[in-house]
Structures are given as structure tokens and as C-alpha cells.
Chain A
Amino acid sequence: MSSAEVRLACKPADYKSDIKPIWCPGCGDYHVLMAFTRAFAELGVPPEQIAVISGIGCSSRIPAYTSCYGFHGVHGRSLALAAGLKVTRPDLTVVVASGDGDGYSIGGNHFLHACRRNIDLTYVVMDNRIYGMTKGQPSPTTEPEFDTALSPGGTGLRPFHPLVIALASGANFIARCFSGEPNQTAAILVEAIHHPGFSFVEILSPCVTFRPDERDWKNLVHPAPVAATNDPARAARRIMTDDGFNIGILYRGDRKPYQPDVGGASGDLSELEKDFER
């Protein structure tokens, strides 16, 4: 089959597995899965050429719900696992899926360094501002006054601002999506995957079980008023001053991705001994 024929054959359903998600009814992540399969079909990359890598949490269950290769690893380390995969297999399309606990708390250090390293990965964080799988503890993006059993009366802590951190750390593409708009999310994912280097896509994805208030997000989101900039200073000002519900591509950088040469001439191993011969 030629690549042109493969392209024609791709439908969103081709990227969905037969495994039934464990997510609660009404979870925003169902729509993220829909956006993934639509984006993959739009890209026309066959499922065996895509790897979806994740950590632990509700959002990290997504790889097995696709028909792509997947890795559901340990908590917080998906970006490192994906980095090892992508540098050795630059032919693959590698998408990393995470949540606000997995990505910003336990995996926070990897987030900084993945942005800085700028390997050609797409990092999707489904942010619901709560730990869902452990039943409702505050995450780094939870509002300070939000009351939980683990933080009676609220944490009193300022939420983390992932988009600004991504920008400051060197991410090459930054966007915010809302799971309730899967077509727009799919379109942005296509652009994120196409964009060279490290692309960061935050998807506001409500947890209707522990954050029923997030059902209201659909009334709060609005399109970003201006087109994406390639000027980090301008992007920083916009991201820091918006209301957190600006949806769209916010920054497109032009840094060169990090991709060392691999798989070239395998070389003569006996040459390596020369260091030691006397």
C-alpha cells in the first residue's frame, strides 16, 4: 500500500481500541480521546507509527484506548520515557499524555527539562485541577480556597501557571484547548504535532465527579483574541494577563529541535579498542 492510499484509509475509528475506558460518565477526557483519534486521522499517520506515552492518573489511561503503540508507565515520568523513544526512533510520531498531578507535581522537573531539551514531542496535559484517581486531592493547579479532605479550608497556595513555565523553559509551541470542543482541539493537536520541537498543549478537561463546578467551564472559555505570536516576550505578557480560558495557539517558536544523528553507519567496533591498545 502506498502512503497516499494509507492516508485515504484513515478514519478516526481506525485509531480507537476496543477497550472500554474506566473514566466516569461525563469526564472531559472522553472528548480528549475523540480529539486524539480525529487528529491522528487528519494527520494520516498509520496507528503503528504513533506512540502514545503516559504516566499515572485518569488522563494517563488514554494510550490503551487508542489503537496506537502505547506505554502506560510510572507516575510522572512519561516525558523522560518519550524522550528516550523519540531520539532513538525519530521516525515515530510520539504524543505524551498527562494530567495536572502527573505532569506538574510529581513530574514537574521533567516538564522543565523537556521544554528546554526541545525534542520533537507533543505534550498534552489534561488539566482538571484535581487528583481524580485518588478521589479529590488538590493538585498544583487547584485554586487556593478549594476545600478538600486533604486540605481543609483550601491549600492557600497560589496555583502553578504551566503555560508561562513552558514558555520560560523553552517549549516551542504552546496552546490551550477545551475538551468540550473536540474538533477545535483536534485541529490544534494536528498543528502541535506538525510543529517541530516540543509542543505543549494544555487541555482544560473537567472532572465532573470531584469538581462539578467545572461544568461551568463551557461558559467561560473563549477564543484567543489574537493570532499566535513567535515573540516569547509578547506571548509571556498575553499568557500572564489572560483569564486562563483563552483558547487557541498562543505561541509558535522557531527553535531548532534537538535530534542527534542516530542509526547511521554502525562503525567498526574494533576501532573503539584503540583507546586502550598500547
Chain B
Amino acid sequence: MDGSQSVSIAFVGSGGAGALTAGNLLLEAANAAGWQGLLTRAVGPQIRGGEAAAFVRLGAHPVECVPDQIDLLIGIDWLNAHRFGGEIEVGPQSLVIGDPRGGELPPSIMSAGARLIAIPMKEMANAIPDGRVNMIALGVAGALLGFDKNVFFGVFEKQLEEKGPNAIASSRAGLDAGYEVARDLRLGLRLAPAERTAARKWLISGNEATALGAIRGGVRFAAAYPITPATEILEWLAPNLAKVGGVLLQAEDELAAINMIIGASFGGTPALTATSGPGLSLMIESLGLATAAEVPVVVIDVMRGGPSTGIPTKSEQADLNIAVYGCHGDAPHLVLAPQSVGDCLFTTQWAAYLAEALQTPAIVLSDQFIGQARAAMERPADVAFIGRRVQASDISGSYKRYAIAGGSVSPMAIPGTRGGQYTADGLTHTERGIPTSSAADHLMQLDKRRDKVERFNYGDHWATLEGNGDLAVIVWGSLTGAAREAVRRAAADGIEACLIVPRLLSPAQPERFAAALRGKQRVLVVEQSHGAQFYRYLRAHYDLPAGGRVLNRPGPLPIKPSEIHRAIMEWRG
């Protein structure tokens, strides 16, 4: 059997049944066997006893988006599965495995026309000392995918080490039983053999990649207020900042968190906080302060459904407006968006570099989808961006912190530097930093802050540009993977389209964007926002060809490659 390009597996169960554990172990095993993959998850709001699903998509090449359909769905139980609504999509080609004692199959799955197979997983687990149903399910999946069982055993030794030898033994027994019962089943899909490459393999989540990128970019202070789905960034930074001479401080709220990082950065230490929409809303006033006082900081917003508390555990791309336009007054700052789990590392590192270079805040718009997804991937290439601030030293005479510097930043005196004393201020100020309400000073400093960010050369990293053709598909952030796959499928159908994904959203890059659009007759904008925020942003800053189309939808359901592919094909007629 040749196997296929990619295969998708979902484990579903009530909270605590181990669906996420099974998904994680499957991804670990696939990684160990040489495949790449992406694990996403869907959980309800309950901490215990809700519903949980792990979606694992595996392939021989980078996997950056969800599949259109699940090929293999295993219900550890179906007790709360109806709560997922449209999140679990199966079709006539899918194989659905469930336990007759695991509750009733949700009608949406029942009516999909999938092949249904009953396996008494609970009974099998009960026959094993400390046996768990999710390990039976994992064994079934491993057998159907044609994985070597020993790969799993290796993973158990590492991942279950802390739980002790009994846990490893019972997991092995469960896996064995799963393999045994599935021996004669056929999925109809087996993975193409993994290509062995010399590349080092990583297993990392978007939030972890973000945190690592921050440290690589020079961040040595973080302030933390917990919020779903950003907390993992902060939890990774807490021990790891300490290893590199940095520190994380837990704040009493987001108002404190943003001001703590402004204080640390004022003292010369590159600083970051991570939050989600509600926290960003609280931080906005002080982001204006950092802009006016020209203090570099990095704020990661791992977006979730909004407005207000919204859907904390699920993704949406609807914080673009507040990130770009949220500050009162004219407050030019940076807004960037990573395009995949791996790109969270690059984009955050670049953001830390840019914030320091431009002495202004950088907001990084990640989202729950890439933030909490785990990727099995090749180690990303190193990049040289390390934040370095233009500092004032050897000061003689009167120091002007906010001196007009011909369109670039003015050297910043760090406390401790003799002769550099100044007061950073959110009030409109003179070149020396003295509060003023003069029209001339106000204009001079507004111009200074605008020019330094607009005249900077951001290079090729401002966007990802791929493909040719007179139709441009324009997306941002976590939709990049799905759009790339749709463009590839359209190419296979003989329709050439190109992909434009701005990584730098603010300041806008009109010349570069115009060059990217040269020769394009039509644009298709795709975004996960009810109000078409991205489309409106593009219309505000760029000249799009007449008659652009927009495919927009709010979260939490991901926009799938097939939907984008269909939009491309329909337009082509």
C-alpha cells in the first residue's frame, strides 16, 4: 500500500477520559517514527468532567492546518460528544470506532454515513490491571495507521516515566490489546512512509514557540497575569527566564502587568507580557503610554472568541481592530501576526527585535488555534534578530531624550547613566521630555514617532508571498496553513493563485503591498472574524483591485482548506 499524503485521527471523550493524552502520545509516536503533524484540541469550559477532543493530523510534510474531515474517529466515550456541534466532521469515507457501553453516538456523526465499528474498549481495559480505555483507543489507532508498536513503547518510557513502571506496564498492555483487536480492521488509509532526513525534530506548541522566540529576541523580563489561552507562554517563561538571568513577576492584574514591563524596559531590560483579548483591552491605555514615552515592550495577544469573555477556549481573529486602532490619540506602534506554530518563534523574536530597535510597543497577534496546537516539525532555522536598543552614553551637556533625529529613534538613556536623567512622560513633551501643550512640540513629537516606524526598512519578512496567477488569496495569522493548502489544491486542479500573508500588520506597507498586488485581477480575502476586520483593514490601507471577495466567518469553527479551495474554484467559474 502506498499510503496517503496525510491522515487525520480524532480521539473524543468526556473530560478526564484521556482523549488529549491519547492525542499527545500519538503525536509523540508519529514524530519518533519520522512523520510531521499537528495536534489541535477542543475542550469545553469545564476544568473536569466536560468534553475533550484531540485532533491529530499527520503527514510526511509540514502540517499546518486542520483537515476537512476526520479519517478515523475514536470515541473513548460519547457522553458529552454532542457538545462539539460542528467541530467534529466525518463523512462517508471516515471510520468511526466506539464502545457499545460508551453512550449514544451523537446524531450528527450517526447521520454522516461513516463506517461504524463497535469495539468493547471499556471491557478490554477492565481486564487489565489499572487499564485505561484511552490506551486501548491509542492501540487501535496505531494498528490502523500501520505504526510499529515499539515506537509507542519508546514514547511510554519517556513520557510516562514520572508515573512509574506500573503505569508504563498497564499502558503497554492496553496498547497491545488495542493492536490485537484492530488487527483485522482496515482504515483504507495508511501513511506514506516517512522520509528520513537529517533535520532535528521538534515537538512544540505555538505558545512554547512564542516564549522561546521572546528569549531568543532578548526578552529578560516578563510580567504575568493568567488568562486562557495564553497562560502556557507565561508558564514556560517562569522557569526558563530564570535560567538565562531573567525574571518573571506575577502581576495582580493586566493593568499591573503592562506597567511592570514598561518599568523594566525603562530600566533597560527587554520585557514582555502575554494575554488574550480581555487583558489586551485592559492594557491599551498603558500601551499608549509606552508609545508616547517611547518605551519598547512586547505584548502577545493569543486571541480567543470575543467580544467580552467570549469563548475563552476557542479561536477567532477578531482582535485586529483593537490591536491596530485601540489606542486613543495617534499612537503608531507595531502589530505582527505569526503564521504557524513554528512561525510563532520567528515572529515573536522579530517583534522583540523591532520593539527594541524602534523604541515602541509591539503587539503580536497569535490565537488559540496556533497557540495551543502542538506541532511535530523540523527544527526551525536560526535567525539573527536580537533586540538592541540605541542607548545614550558618554553624555555631556544637556541631554535631549526625545531629540528629533531625522526620522529615526533618539538614543535612550538608561537609569544609572550619568547626565542622562530625564522623566519619561505620557504628557505631550518637548525634546527634553518636559511637559508642554504647545502645538509645535505636539506636532514635532507626533511626526517623530510616526516617522521612526514608517521609515524603517522591514525587509522581506513583512509578508509571505507565494505563487503566481492573477488571483490573490490574502489571509493573515493562523489561516495561512489552510489557505496554502487550498492554493495547492487549486493548482492541482489547474487554477493558479498566489498567496499573500502580511506578517507585519502595522505600520502598513503600501509600496510593498502594491508590488505584491501588481498584475492581480482579483483578490479573495479570508478571515475568521464576523465583522470582516481584516478586509476593512486592507481596504483602509491598500488599493485592492475592484470587486474583491471576502470569505469571513467568526470562530470557533476553523475555516477549512476545502472552503477556501471552493471559493477559489467558484470564482474561476
Question: Nearest chain A CB to B292's CB is how many angstroms away?
Answer: 10
Q: Judging by beta carbons under 8 Å apart, are B203 and A89 in contact?
A: no
A49 within 8 A of B: yes
Q: Judging by beta carbons under 8 Å apart, are B415 and A92 in contact?
A: yes
CB-CB < 8 A to A91: which residues of B?
Answer: 416
Q: Judging by beta carbons under 8 Å apart, are B425 and A84 in contact?
A: no
Q: Judging by beta carbons under 8 Å apart, are A262 and B256 in contact?
A: no
CB-CB < 8 A to A67: which residues of B?
Answer: 421
Question: Which of A48, A64, A67, A88 has the most CB atoms of chain B within a 10 A radius of its CB?
Answer: A88
**Given A71-B266, A82-B263, A276-B202 contact (CB < 8 Å):** yes
* CB-contacts of A110-156 with B (<8 A): 110, 112-113
Segment among B89-97, B244-252, B564-572 that sits at the interface with chain A: B244-252
B148 within 8 A of A: no
A266 within 8 A of B: yes
B264's closest neighbor in chain A, by CB?
A84
**Given A19-B434, A51-B415, A80-B259, A260-B245 contact (CB < 8 Å):** no
A271 within 8 A of B: yes
Question: Nearest chain A CB to B212's CB is how many angstroms away?
Answer: 6
B215 within 8 A of A: yes
Q: Interface digits, B343-358 against A, CB 8 Å rule (1 contact, 0 not)? A: 0000000000000000
Q: Interface digits, B34-53 against A, CB 8 Å rule (1 contact, 0 not)? A: 00000000000000000000
Q: Judging by beta carbons under 8 Å apart, are B242 and A260 in contact?
A: yes
A216 within 8 A of B: no
**Given A69-B421, A71-B424, A262-B245, A77-B269 contact (CB < 8 Å):** no
Q: Judging by beta carbons under 8 Å apart, are B434 and A80 in contact?
A: no
Q: Interface digits, B412-446 against A, CB 8 Å rule (1 contact, 0 not)? A: 01011111111111110000011100000000000
Question: Which of A71, A76, A264, A267 has the most CB atoms of chain B within a 10 A radius of its CB?
Answer: A71
**Given A72-B423, A87-B247, A263-B245, A81-B416 contact (CB < 8 Å):** no
Q: Interface digits, B239-276 against A, CB 8 Å rule (1 contact, 0 not)? A: 01011111101011101110111111111110100000
**Given A84-B271, A89-B267, A277-B200 contact (CB < 8 Å):** yes
**Given A277-B201, A278-B201, A48-B416 contact (CB < 8 Å):** yes
A257 within 8 A of B: no
User: Interface on A for B, CB 8 Å cutoff?
Assistant: 19, 46-49, 51-53, 63-64, 67-74, 76-89, 91-92, 109-110, 112-113, 260-267, 269, 271-273, 275-278
User: Interface on B for A, CB 8 Å cutoff?
Assistant: 28, 31-32, 200-204, 208, 212, 215-216, 220-221, 223, 236, 240, 242-247, 249, 251-253, 255-257, 259-269, 271, 285-286, 289, 293, 376, 379, 413, 415-427, 433-435
What are 25 residue pairs bridging A and B, where the CB atoms are less than 8 Å apart in the complex? A19-B434, A48-B421, A51-B266, A63-B423, A64-B425, A69-B423, A70-B424, A76-B255, A77-B286, A80-B260, A81-B262, A81-B263, A82-B263, A84-B261, A84-B263, A84-B264, A85-B267, A86-B263, A88-B271, A110-B255, A272-B244, A273-B202, A275-B236, A277-B202, A278-B203
Q: Give 10 nearest A-B pairs by CB, closest first.
A: A84-B263, A70-B423, A84-B260, A80-B256, A80-B259, A81-B263, A85-B263, A84-B264, A113-B252, A89-B267
